[in-house]
Amino acid sequence: MTNQSQFDRVLAHITEHPDLSSKDISSATRIAPCVVFSLLTPMVRKNLVSRHKVGGIYRYRAVKQEAEPVNLNAMFNSLLRSAREGRV
């Protein structure tokens, strides 16, 4: 199994089940605890996951990513240009 697919599995599990410990994530995803921990560190650094301490145990939660705004004017102009070019 590739490291990227493990990364995606861990991130998806945290998104679906917030406030889990790394041990909980490891058990649920069946990925070794040391691998889960090594994946969580870059997730926290990239601001994909937040880490907070509850009762002496770190728990993880996915950080909501804001979608980039869509430039509707540019999209419309691009579609209009494509339609005009297709009429030849």
18-73, pLDDT tens digit by residue?
999 999 999 999 999 999 999 999 999 999 999 999 999 999 999 987 767 888 88
DSSP 66-87: PPPPP-HHHHHHHHHHHHHHHT
- With 0.75 as the threshold, say if the pTM is over it: no
Task: Please provide the CATH number assigned to the domain covering 1-88.
Answer: 1.10.10.10
How many beta carbons lie within 10 A of that of residue 31, not counting itself? 19
Smallest CA-to-CA distance from 30 within 54, 5, 62 is with 5
Give me the pLDDT at residue 6, please: 92
